[in-house]
């Protein structure tokens, strides 16, 4: 329904009322309007008017409004107001607003609220929003004012009030020091070509917070100087200008801006950061005492934990550079290590703390505390997983861990080594570099802790098989693992793996000879010597590495137990021809040389046997027991060949030795000395040592 029709209808109703002689009560028009504005009138309240058309009433009211006769305006509009004519209500509210004062503003605001929330089809509703916001602003309620300004800007982007409302939003942000709103409305005003004055007014914000980050020293300085009074009122903006001055090398301007924060905004959150910057500038000039004083002030104020941590960072740098030995604060004397510890457990972000945690780890490692350094590095890599130095920190942790394990293993610090493994087990169990957990396992075996050693090996096996596959099962660390399983008689674990590898390798592969060693060790324990020898004859005999040497040693023992002397001789001859055997397995190499000399003696090749025993006597690799055996055999040969003087001399040496393991040899030598001394005839079988 159009406004004209509404006014006509109201006019007709008024005529009917007059015709029926409805009594009219005199009342104060302002009180009636206020009641309607507050929504509390229960019955229509009328004011006596000469018969006028609604148009005439509106015209008279407008004239009264323009003549600043606001009470007359309100009274003239009362009949139309009571009928909720939007134009009349809007003009009434404007009259109350123009009248001013707490009562006028409150009454006007109530009418504006009704116009936007209760009355449909209100023209110029943006005007009501604008006036509500303005009233809130005059009442000292910027937050409610901001709410209605924002609603009006959003709902009525083409309103004539938009420019003024945007400017007011910007000013509210200035007065409340709301940085996010300042940036938002400053950018909006900067992009609004309709009002250059507003754009210039907000330039100091739009320029400093520009997205392109293209600041020019002269322009920056000019913008700051032109808007200094307003910039100085807002610490966050002042801090931003200080940062840009510093970035462009305008150190004095940056220092001045930060000092303005310290001097004009005591207690704000930006104060500590400003003190940090001023201290930094003093440090640049070489005024280290002044810088330390400011850092101490930040720490002792205790207002900003982040700033405290940053002050400690600067103090740590001063110590690292040799400008400061100790730092005194609140009765405590801080060392470099103390500062690093405080930074490590501060509230700074991980990327800010990381370099100093790393420094602390290096300091601990260089102070012979590798266990502490490892804990520090473990914390570092768990918190700082990505970043420019994350790989360096991970590598340092890994290298230090490996170095510590190697050092503890070589120095036989086995208990400490086990403790290191338990603490850093998660890393070691998920590494394919098995040589380091292998050292831990070997150390545990050395201590007789075979069950924990097996757990270490089990973890190594699972990770290696998961990452690289079963085909690498017989790498060096796992050889010891399988031999341990064999020693512990854990056949349920060992036998399936041997069977699987035998099926997949098909008698070839780079680890086949190692597989044969484990298989031979397993068979030597679980089968009769004859069966072991029988199977060995059907397999290839490798003579390449230390694993082959160990297998060859096992097979010679099995052949001797099975009394297969021919096969034993073949095995020992293969060992004697193997030139690298003495390096790969010196014990077995000596046994092979002794066996060879004994074989010559046993088969009657005395001359050859004598030469070999003489060579063994001067062999530096022989242990005492083996050398005494060679002396005894050589003494017997001399006796048989009639060289009694040499024989007596050697028998005497054997008889007088004090090695417990050679007591049998000494006893035999003493009997021979007695027999030779009294020239007792000795049977040949005794001479040969067969009885």
Q: How far apart are CA 220 and CA 250, in angstroms?
A: 10
Residues 6 or more apart from 258 whose CB is under 8 A from it?
239, 242, 274, 275, 277, 278, 281
Residues 180 and 188 sit within 8 Å (Cβ to Cβ) = no
Tell me which residue of 580, 409, 659, 161 sits closest to 552, measured CA to CA.
580
The end-to-end CA distance of the chain, in Å, is 140
At residue 196, the pLDDT reads: 86
At residue 542, the pLDDT reads: 85
Residues 238 and 257 sit within 8 Å (Cβ to Cβ) = yes
At residue 365, the pLDDT reads: 87
Structure tokens, 63? 């004239």
Q: How far apart are CA 248 and CA 215, in angstroms?
A: 8
Return the residue matching tokens 């001097």: 263
Structure tokens, 589? 């190499």
307-330 confidence digits (pLDDT tens) = 888 999 998 999 888 888 888 888
At residue 505, the pLDDT reads: 67
Return the residue matching tokens 């290096």: 362
Residue 330's region, left for phi above 0, alpha for psi from -120 to 50, else beta, is left
Q: How far apart are CA 371 and CA 423, in angstroms?
A: 9
Q: Which residues of the chain have pLDDT under 70?
A: 1-51, 469-473, 505-507, 678-691
Residues 6 or more apart from 387 whose CB is under 8 A from it?
351, 354
Dihedral of alpha carbons 245, 247, 249, 251, sign? positive
Q: How far apart are CA 447 and CA 454, in angstroms?
A: 13
Question: 295 φ, ψ to 5°?
Answer: -65, -40
Structure tokens, 109? 């605001």
Dihedral of alpha carbons 541, 543, 544, 546, sign? positive
Exposed/middle/buried for 404, CB within 10 Å: 0-12, 13-18, 19+? Answer: buried
Residues 279 and 294 sit within 8 Å (Cβ to Cβ) = yes
Q: How far apart are CA 140 and CA 121, in angstroms?
A: 31
Structure tokens, 623? 């242990």
Q: How far apart are CA 526 and CA 69, in angstroms?
A: 122
Exposed/middle/buried for 212, CB within 10 Å: 0-12, 13-18, 19+? Answer: exposed
Q: Render the burial of 597-617: b for 16+ CB within 10 Å, e for the rest.
A: bbbbbeeeeeeebbebbeebe
Dihedral of alpha carbons 188, 191, 194, 195, sign? positive
Of all residues in the chain, what percent carry a pLDDT higher than 70?
89
Q: How far apart are CA 457 and CA 477, in angstroms?
A: 8
At residue 38, the pLDDT reads: 55
Question: 328 φ, ψ to 5°?
Answer: -95, 130
Residues 593 and 616 sit within 8 Å (Cβ to Cβ) = yes
Give the distance from CA 67 to its chain's centroid: 74
At residue 617, the pLDDT reads: 84
DSSP codes, 552-576 = HHHHHHHHHHTT-HHHHHHHHHHHH
Tell me which residue of 506, 508, 484, 482 sits closest to 495, measured CA to CA.
482
Residue-level length of the chain: 691
Structure tokens, 574? 């293969």
DSSP codes, 477-517 = HHHHHHHHHHHTT-HHHHHHHHHHHHHHHSS-STTHHHHHH
457-480 confidence digits (pLDDT tens) = 888 888 877 777 665 567 777 788
Q: How far apart are CA 3 and CA 204, in angstroms?
A: 47
The percent helix, strand, coil of the chain (3-state, each to 5) is: 75, 0, 25
At residue 546, the pLDDT reads: 86
Residues 437 and 459 sit within 8 Å (Cβ to Cβ) = yes
Q: What is the DSSP letter of 51?
A: S
């Amino acid at each position: 329904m159009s406004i004209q029709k509404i006014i006509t209808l109201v006019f007709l109703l008024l005529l009917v009322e007059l015709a029926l002689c409805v009594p009219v009560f005199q009342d104060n028009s302002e009180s009636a309007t206020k009641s309607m504005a507050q929504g509390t009138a229960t019955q229509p309240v009328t004011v006596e008017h000469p018969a006028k058309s609604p148009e005439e009433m509106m015209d008279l009211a407008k004239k009264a409004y323009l003549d600043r006769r606001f009470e007359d305006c309100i009274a003239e509009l009362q009949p139309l107001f009571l009928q909720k004519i939007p134009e009349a209500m809007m003009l009434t509210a404007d009259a109350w607003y123009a009248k001013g004062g707490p009562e006028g503003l409150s009454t006007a605001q109530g009418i504006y609220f009704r116009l936007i929330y209760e009355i449909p089809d209100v023209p110029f509703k943006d005007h009501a929003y604008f006036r509500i916001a303005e009233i809130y602003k005059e009442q000292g309620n910027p937050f409610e004012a901001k709410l209605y300004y924002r609603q009006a800007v959003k709902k009525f982007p083409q309103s004539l009030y938009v420019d003024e409302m945007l400017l007011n939003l910007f000013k509210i942000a200035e007065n409340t020091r709301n940085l996010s709103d300042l940036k938002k409305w400053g950018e909006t005003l900067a992009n609004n070509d309709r009002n250059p004055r507003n754009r210039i007014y907000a330039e100091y914000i739009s320029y400093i917070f520009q997205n392109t980050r293209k600041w020019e020293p002269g322009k920056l300085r000019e913008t700051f100087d032109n808007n200094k009074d307003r910039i100085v009122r807002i610490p966050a903006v002042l801090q931003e200008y200080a940062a840009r001055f510093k970035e462009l090398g305008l150190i004095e301007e940056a220092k001045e801006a930060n000092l303005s924060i310290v001097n004009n905004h005591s207690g704000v959150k930006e104060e500590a950061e400003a003190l940090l910057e001023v201290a930094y500038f003093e440090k640049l000039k070489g005024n280290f005492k002044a810088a330390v004083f400011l850092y101490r002030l930040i720490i002792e104020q205790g207002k900003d934990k982040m700033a405290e941590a940053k002050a400690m960072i600067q103090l740590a740098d001063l110590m690292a550079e040799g400008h400061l030995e100790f730092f005194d604060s609140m009765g405590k004397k801080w060392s470099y290590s103390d500062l690093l510890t405080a930074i490590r457990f501060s509230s700074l972000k991980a990327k800010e703390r990381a370099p100093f945690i790393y420094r602390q780890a290096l300091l601990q490692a260089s102070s012979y505390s590798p266990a502490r350094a490892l804990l520090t590095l473990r914390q570092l890599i768990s918190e700082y997983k990505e970043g420019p130095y994350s790989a360096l920190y991970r590598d340092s942790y890994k290298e230090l861990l490996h170095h510590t394990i190697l050092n503890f293993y070589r120095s036989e610090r086995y208990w400490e080594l086990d403790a290191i493994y338990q603490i850093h087990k998660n890393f070691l169990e998920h590494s394919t570099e098995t040589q380091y957990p292998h050292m831990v396992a070997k150390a545990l075996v050395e201590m007789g802790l075979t069950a924990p050693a097996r757990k270490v090996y089990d973890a190594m096996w699972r990770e290696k098989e998961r990452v690289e596959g079963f085909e690498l099962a017989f790498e060096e660390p796992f050889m010891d693992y399988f031999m341990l399983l064999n020693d512990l008689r854990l056949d349920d674990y060992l036998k399936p793996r041997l069977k699987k590898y035998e099926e997949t390798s098909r008698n070839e592969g780079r680890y086949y000879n190692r597989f044969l060693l484990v298989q031979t060790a397993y068979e030597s324990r679980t089968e009769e010597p004859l069966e072991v020898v029988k199977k060995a004859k059907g397999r290839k005999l490798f003579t390449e590495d230390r694993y082959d040497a160990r297998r060859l040693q096992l097979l010679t023992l099995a052949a001797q137990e099975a009394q297969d002397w021919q096969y034993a001789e073949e095995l020992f001859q293969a060992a004697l021809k193997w030139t690298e055997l003495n390096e790969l397995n010196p014990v077995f190499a000596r046994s092979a040389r002794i066996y060879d000399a004994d074989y010559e003696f046993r088969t009657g090749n005395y001359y050859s046997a004598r030469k070999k025993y003489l060579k063994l006597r001067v062999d530096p690799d022989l242990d005492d027991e083996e050398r005494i055996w060679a002396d005894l055999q050589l003494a017997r040969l001399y006796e048989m060949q009639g060289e009694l003087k040499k024989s007596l001399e050697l028998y005497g040496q054997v008889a007088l030795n004090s090695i417990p393991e050679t007591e049998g040899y000494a006893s035999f030598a003493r009997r021979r000395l007695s027999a030779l001394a009294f020239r007792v005839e000795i049977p040949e079988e005794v001479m040969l040592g067969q009885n």
